């Protein structure tokens, strides 16, 4: 099990957001309680943008940020010891800033450093 799986699997995340019949997604989407805060980077830049994860599925993520991120851009953010990489599919304004929908393209596992050396 990766750090991402253990970080984002509280018991309250077990109910899908939408009725599967009306949703075009391949996998169910789950709301993230209290909007998990992450430090987002638009690749290849290293500037950190504060974002909140609103929902998550096996291959997608919904983020809330105060910065417009153009569709087609790639973003990355750490969750636990893992780095999630996603392609932005849409970005639309909302009362709190911008809702960003991304398709997860990779999860890079960062093994813990071995302090026994």
Residue 1 has pLDDT above 70, yes or no: no
pLDDT band at 4 (very low <50, low <70, confident <90, very high): low
The model carries a pTM of 0.74
pLDDT band at 111 (very low <50, low <70, confident <90, very high): confident
Q: Which domains does the chain have, with CATH numbers?
A: 26-109 (2.40.10.220)
User: pLDDT tens, 44-80?
Assistant: 988 999 999 999 998 999 999 999 999 999 999 998 8
Residue 20 has pLDDT above 50, yes or no: no
DSSP conformation letters of the chain: --HHHHHT--GGG-SBSS-GGG---SS--EEEEEEEEEEEEETT----EEEEEEEE-SSEEEEEESS---TT-EEEEEETTEEEEEEEEEEEEETTEEEEEEEEEEEEE-PPP-TT-
Instruction: Give residue 6's pLDDT.
Output: 46
């Amino acid at each position: 099990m990766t750090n991402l799986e253990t970080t984002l699997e509280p018991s309250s995340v077990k109910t899908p957001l939408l009725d599967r019949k009306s949703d075009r997604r391949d996998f169910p989407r789950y709301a993230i309680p209290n909007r998990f805060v992450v430090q987002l980077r638009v690749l290849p830049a290293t500037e950190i943008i504060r974002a909140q994860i609103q929902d998550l599925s096996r291959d997608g993520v919904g983020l809330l940020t105060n910065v417009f991120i153009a569709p087609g851009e790639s973003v990355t953010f750490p969750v636990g010891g893992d780095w999630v990489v996603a392609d932005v599919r849409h970005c639309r304004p909302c009362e709190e800033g911008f809702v960003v929908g991304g398709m997860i393209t990779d999860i890079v596992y960062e093994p813990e450093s071995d302090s026994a050396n």
